[in-house]
Amino acid sequence: MAGAEQLRSFVEVPTGSHFPIQNLPFGVFHRRGSHSQAPPRPAVAIGDSALDLAAVADAGLFDGPALAGSPCFQALDSVAPVVDWADQLGLAPRKAGLVR
Q: Which value, in Å, is the radius of gyration of the alpha carbons in the chain?
A: 14
User: How confident is the model at residue 80, as a pLDDT?
Assistant: 42
pTM of the model: 0.55
3, HSE (Cβ side, Cα atoms, 13 Å): 4
DSSP states of 58-100 as a string?
HTTS---HHHHH-TTGGGTTTS-S---HHHHHT-TTTTGGG--
User: How confident is the model at residue 52, as a pLDDT?
Assistant: 83
User: How confident is the model at residue 77, as a pLDDT?
Assistant: 46
Give the residues across from 26 on adjacent strands: 44
Sequence spans of domains, the chain: 24-98
User: How confident is the model at residue 69, as a pLDDT?
Assistant: 52
Q: What is the pLDDT of residues 30-75, one digit of tens each?
A: 777 766 677 777 788 877 788 887 787 778 776 665 555 555 555 5
